[in-house]
A = this chain, B = another copy of it.
Amino acid sequence: MSLTTPALAGKLAGLQSSAIRDLLELTARDDIISLAGGLPDAALMPNERIAAAAETALRDSAVLQYTESSGWPALREVIAARESAKIGRAVSSAEVFITHGSQQALSLLAEVLLDPGALVIVEDPAYVGALQVFRAAGARIVAVPLDSEGMRLDILEDLLAAGERPAVVHTVSTFHNPGGVTLTPERRRRLAELAEAHGFWIIEDDPYGELWFDRPAPAPVASYSPQVIRLSSVSKILAPALRVGWLIAPENVCRAVELLKQGADLCGSSLTQQITTDLLCDTPWLTTHIDTIRTTYGTRARTLVTALRTTFGDRLHCTDPTGGMFLWAEFTDTTDTTTLLPTALDTGVAYVPGAAFAVTNTTPTTLRLCFTTSDEATLVEAVARLSKALRVSAGV
């Protein structure tokens, strides 16, 4: 019936789906507690506040028309003001470009900044959505491992000393997905210095920065250099369905992104962008709203860490989440988390094996756990099921 041209066959063979997405389809079963997802908790999303903002926005017929490719002007202004406060310099709205989630910022930037074969440095483990984009752009990808202080800059410096010349260094600087760690202020400053010394762009991908638990995240890498393009979105603090992300970049970069956005999808939604503007401008409400998310996720993170340490002791090391949505863990014995997964699903718990995020350094004993969408009792039960899976797998 259907025509399979050589081009289409090639694309189908060459494209890789996200392993995590495929796994998520398996874990949608009601009897499985899934710590495998990467979603914010829908129960914490502000449905009523968004409905009120929609009702107000829709009194103006302009809100249903096409809008500028660069975004709804009022939204660009409020983002400029918020980013100015974060970065510590005046960001103009001409440096703000609104995208369809920060994933679109990443994919348009890859087209703008990379020629085929250009070198991109990523973190290991890496954000899978970034890998997908950089691979599609035909980049050569080299990974630098994380430690508890974020990207290992000593290894990056070795690469630079050996003559590697990256076009882009991509970092999820704060509350890393999947690694759970945050780049220290010292390393932020040093990374910015390296960018200026060696002429590369830093893409600072920061969707989680506002989700800190006890104290605010360090100042962005972008506060140390104009060679940093910052990405963020409202998906984790308001709602993914608004599909509002952005990039903060010099005007010439924004201009190139604009030309690509016209071809990609013309423009974003003035309706969801006006709703977002309304919510971001309502500071008292927003502060309380984000505080609730922080408190809830913080409590869940601590519950999960405590349950893991109580249950597994020295057999499992895990990060101490200070924000974000993820915990990274590593079995200290020979437990292979990919091999264990079918047994874990049988006992009713899902996680993502660390191998799914590996670029070069595949450690088979690691795993990512998401603590955002389960309440405390469920998280404790999930750890009990994981423990059972280990016993079943050992034949005990």
User: A residues near B, CB below 8 A?
Assistant: 1-8, 10-12, 15-18, 21, 39-40, 42-43, 45, 47-48, 50-51, 54-55, 58-59, 61-67, 99-101, 103-104, 107, 111-115, 118, 129, 132-133, 136, 167, 199, 201, 226-227, 235, 239-243, 250-253, 255-256, 259-260, 262-272
Contacts and interface: CB of A to CB of B under 8 A. Distances in A.
Number of copies: 2
Given A5-B167, A8-B253, A64 B45 contact: yes
A200 B39 CA distance: 41
Given A11-B256, A252-B12, A253-B2, A100 B42 contact: no
Given A7-B167, A199-B3, A64 B240 contact: yes
Given A8-B112, A17-B262, A47-B61, 11 more contacts: A2-B227, A2-B250, A8-B113, A11-B260, A15-B259, A63-B241, A64-B241, A99-B265, A132-B262, A136-B260, A241-B272
4 A-B pairs with least C-beta separation: A2-B250, A64-B239, A104-B265, A15-B259
Given A2-B250, A7-B113, A272-B272, A266 B129 contact: yes
A243 B262 contact: no
Contact of A8 (B63, B107, B256): B256
Contact of A107 (B59, B251, B263): B263
